[in-house]
Chains A and B, each alone.
Chain A
């Protein structure tokens, strides 16, 4: 039915059986003799579809199930239950025709040969993906230009910096021009400039080839810069799927009012308008309940010497944190234990 969507996931579950270990030597001995196994629900009844050319951000704390979902979608893991379809294929069958069109980039794992220049790994991948010579040359030219690879290609990978290595990893993963990209923390550990470059590159790739991309990242900036749509996962459950900005509206009960005064305040108290986040010299930031924003702003304009006022959504980082806090609270209320999965 929804075969038009490159990515289609329905009631997907992936459970791991893990043995629990009590801390300390005694605990280790005990678990060595007799292991208690429990199912960890890494992904628990998740459904979503992603359209062609979309860039979707996966958000969630460590152990939320983001990476597991990506691994199921790229065919590495067999799902416990449920349906996963990518480009019309069932990923876990790992058909060559499917693997040719996807790629998985993991910020913390590398496929480049440590002791050889990155170019050698590129040539291996060119052979594996059977990329014709002229297309290989063309793609190499494009990637070299987009990622500024020229000075890196001939150096042994072990001599590259983390950021340089990541750029080469991306190139190695994209040589075959995949239609679907699974990027798992592609910017982890990189400095801000490099993060921006990688981000820009992902954006360019998406525009140039119309590729469908799922991105996970710990850095909200990656997500806000690249994704309009986010899928929020926590403890294997899907919490939110939709527009990034709508998420803020839905979740954050407050808006942020930033005011600049034309003259120092004359004993007027800001507390009566809302929660004061900061107040310094002639600047102040207040959190106002979402419904009351316009009333409060009007009152402030009338009663205070205001030179400038702006109303903003609170920073998305705070919004996301709040989503997870709410989810944890809901779980606690249902009496579920909050286990750390990583």
Chain B
């Protein structure tokens, strides 16, 4: 209840903050649409020459693109401005103010702000997924939708955990921009179904940097291509990474050195 109240006030302030800069708001919304169109154009060009990508058809790949856009939205509106911003706060020492508050530091660090214009990506992403389903003439069964939602939730938890672990490294190394860049490079790979990658890369993208969980698996769930076991494995994996990242974060906090005044 108390945390809910905090969230409300955090988000109210974030929105107020963004409304301070109207031009920024509009130009950013424009950028979102631009990148989505660019992504779809890329896929369309590919399918001018081929009928399938891996063993995915055009609407199926479109669904992956939709999910990718959806996750980009989640990441840019909720993860980067929060967990991502911790890196900067560690560097300039303002993280002090998070740690001296009588509220769980991970809660503040993870949910303090929201970049609402990036929710545009989330909405567009959902629209693309629905459109792709229409193209496929598929109506998912309630079970498939259930699996899909579990997969989405797991994916959010996994991406969040990856961010939290990356950021925790900043407690030792302070400057870790390159680690986040590396993550983005891998993340880009999630734009297409991971089944198009072969051998080592595919294993890497499934288990080491679990990009497959973000786009490919939820899409598979919606298309009925995934068995319950995989869903459960994904779910357990998500919970495991969430717990592990939380442990690591708490351990890393001990090494906060608080930039000098």
- Of B103, B255, B261, the residue contacting A128 (CB under 8 A) is B103
Query: Using an 8 Å CB-CB cutoff, how does the interface string of B1-28 with A read, 1 for contact, 0 for none?
Result: 0100110011001001100110000000
Report whether A113 and B17 are in contact in the complex, using a CB–CB cutoff of 8 Å.
yes
Report whether A113 and B96 are in contact in the complex, using a CB–CB cutoff of 8 Å.
no
Return the 5 tightest CB-CB contacts between A and B, nearest first.
A99-B102, A96-B102, A111-B97, A100-B102, A108-B261
With A76-B256, A78-B254, A116-B13 already in contact, the answer to whether A107 and B261 are too (CB < 8 A) is yes
Report whether B100 and A74 are in contact in the complex, using a CB–CB cutoff of 8 Å.
yes
- Of A67, A76, A107, A184, the residue contacting B99 (CB under 8 A) is A76
With A67-B260, A100-B102, A185-B261 already in contact, the answer to whether A109 and B96 are too (CB < 8 A) is yes
Query: Using an 8 Å CB-CB cutoff, how does the interface string of B239-261 with A read, 1 for contact, 0 for none?
Result: 00000000000000011111011
Q: Which of B16, B92, B93, B257 has the most CB of A within 10 A?
A: B257
Interface residues of A in 105-135 (CB under 8 A from B): 106-111, 113, 115-116, 120, 123-124, 127-130
Report whether A106 and B96 are in contact in the complex, using a CB–CB cutoff of 8 Å.
yes
Report whether A76 and B258 are in contact in the complex, using a CB–CB cutoff of 8 Å.
yes
- Of A103, A113, A116, A156, the residue contacting B100 (CB under 8 A) is A103
Which residues of A have CB within 8 Å of B103?
96, 128
Report whether A116 and B16 are in contact in the complex, using a CB–CB cutoff of 8 Å.
yes
Verify if B94 is at the interface (C-beta below 8 Å from A). Answer: yes
| Nearest chain A residue, comparing its CB with the CB of B98 | A111
Report whether A111 and B5 are in contact in the complex, using a CB–CB cutoff of 8 Å.
no
Verify if B49 is at the interface (C-beta below 8 Å from A). Answer: no
Q: Which of B2, B9, B17, B96 has the most CB of A within 10 A?
A: B96
Q: Which of B92, B103, B255 has the most CB of A within 10 A?
A: B103
Count of CB-CB pairs between chains A and B under 8 Å: 76
With A109-B94, A113-B17 already in contact, the answer to whether A75 and B99 are too (CB < 8 A) is yes
Verify if B101 is at the interface (C-beta below 8 Å from A). Answer: yes
Interface residues on B, range: 20 to 34
Whole-angstrom distance from the CB of A107 to the nearest CB of chain B?
A: 7
The complex places the Cα of A92 from the Cα of B96 at a distance, in Å, of 13
Whole-angstrom distance from the CB of A88 to the nearest CB of chain B?
A: 16
The complex places the Cα of A99 from the Cα of B255 at a distance, in Å, of 19
Report whether A115 and B9 are in contact in the complex, using a CB–CB cutoff of 8 Å.
no
Whole-angstrom distance from the CB of B16 to the nearest CB of chain A?
A: 6
Which residues of A have CB within 8 Å of B260?
67, 342
Chain A interfacial positions (CB closer than 8 Å to B): 16, 67, 71, 74-78, 92, 94, 96-100, 102-104, 106-111, 113, 115-116, 120, 123-124, 127-130, 156, 184-185, 342
- Of A74, A103, A184, the residue contacting B261 (CB under 8 A) is A184
Report whether B93 and A127 are in contact in the complex, using a CB–CB cutoff of 8 Å.
no
Report whether B6 and A127 are in contact in the complex, using a CB–CB cutoff of 8 Å.
yes
15 contacts between A and B (CB under 8 A): A71-B96, A76-B258, A77-B256, A99-B101, A106-B261, A108-B261, A109-B93, A109-B96, A111-B94, A115-B21, A116-B16, A120-B13, A128-B6, A128-B101, A129-B102
| Nearest chain A residue, comparing its CB with the CB of B20 | A115
Whole-angstrom distance from the CB of A153 to the nearest CB of chain B?
A: 15
Which residues of A have CB within 8 Å of B102?
96-100, 128-129
With A107-B261, A110-B94, A115-B20 already in contact, the answer to whether A76 and B10 are too (CB < 8 A) is no
Whole-angstrom distance from the CB of A118 to the nearest CB of chain B?
A: 12
Query: Using an 8 Å CB-CB cutoff, how does the interface string of B79-104 with A read, 1 for contact, 0 for none?
Result: 00000000000001110110111110
- Of B5, B13, B258, the residue contacting A71 (CB under 8 A) is B258
With A120-B13, A128-B6, A130-B2 already in contact, the answer to whether A77 and B257 are too (CB < 8 A) is yes
| Nearest chain A residue, comparing its CB with the CB of B21 | A115
The complex places the Cα of A77 from the Cα of B6 at a distance, in Å, of 26
Which residues of B have CB within 8 Å of A77?
256-258
The complex places the Cα of A16 from the Cα of B258 at a distance, in Å, of 11
| Nearest chain B residue, comparing its CB with the CB of A108 | B261
The complex places the Cα of A67 from the Cα of B261 at a distance, in Å, of 7
Report whether B100 and A76 are in contact in the complex, using a CB–CB cutoff of 8 Å.
yes
Whole-angstrom distance from the CB of A271 to the nearest CB of chain B?
A: 45
Report whether A102 and B100 are in contact in the complex, using a CB–CB cutoff of 8 Å.
yes
The complex places the Cα of A321 from the Cα of B260 at a distance, in Å, of 23
With A75-B99, A94-B99, A106-B96 already in contact, the answer to whether A16 and B261 are too (CB < 8 A) is no
